[in-house]
């Protein structure tokens, strides 16, 4: 009896974790639509961090100013002027204690949007956010 309960609990946990980590068709469609309609004056920041920290929004800072936040499998569109900028992403609250933020310097073109993807790298003691500039095609898929 205990063996059946344990197996059922493990199966339920696996199903829950797999459902939380992968983007749904609607979420992928929303990101794809955001990429297709992006204005040249914007940056798009997508978060595809999987289950880890998925219930906590990630705050987005550009040049030291908080400009938004993004939930898991979501995209945030931010208007910024062309030029050299620094983007930082970080958790706040208790999640910030064990998760290192990520920072990236980039040049924003005047003629096209910029696209960024946030990922989460887990380690033995903690985790670290990572941010990378990506292509429109990569962000959309």
Q: What's the pLDDT tens digit per position in 36-47?
A: 888 889 999 999
pLDDT at 100 over 60: yes
**Cα separations (Å) of 10 from 5, 7, 99?**
9, 5, 27
> How many CA atoms, within 13 angstroms, populate the side-chain half-sphere of residue 111?
0
The CATH number of the domain holding residue 118 is: 2.60.40.180
Which of 12-21, 55-64, 79-88 bottoms out in mean pLDDT, i.e. has the lowest?
Answer: 12-21
Residue 28 CA, distance from chain mean position:
13
- pTM above threshold 0.85: no
Number of domains in the chain: 1
Domain extent for 52: 22-140
Whether 13 is in a domain gets the answer no
pLDDT mean over 94-123: 92
The pLDDT confidence band at residue 49, using thresholds 50, 70 and 90, is confident
pLDDT at 2 over 60: no
């Amino acid at each position: 009896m205990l063996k059946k309960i344990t197996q059922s609990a493990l199966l339920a946990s696996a199903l829950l974790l797999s459902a939380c980590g992968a983007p749904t068709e609607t979420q992928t469609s929303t990101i794809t639509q955001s990429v297709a309609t992006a204005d040249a004056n914007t940056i798009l920041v997508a978060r595809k961090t999987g289950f880890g920290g998925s219930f906590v929004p990630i705050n987005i800072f550009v040049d030291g100013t908080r400009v938004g936040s993004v939930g898991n499998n979501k995209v945030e569109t931010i208007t910024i002027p062309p030029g050299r900028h620094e983007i930082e992403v970080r958790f706040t609250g208790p999640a910030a204690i064990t998760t290192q933020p990520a920072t990236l310097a980039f040049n924003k073109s005047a003629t096209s949007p910029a696209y960024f993807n946030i990922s989460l790298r887990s380690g033995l003691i903690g985790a670290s956010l990572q941010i990378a500039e990506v292509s429109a095609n990569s962000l959309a898929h």
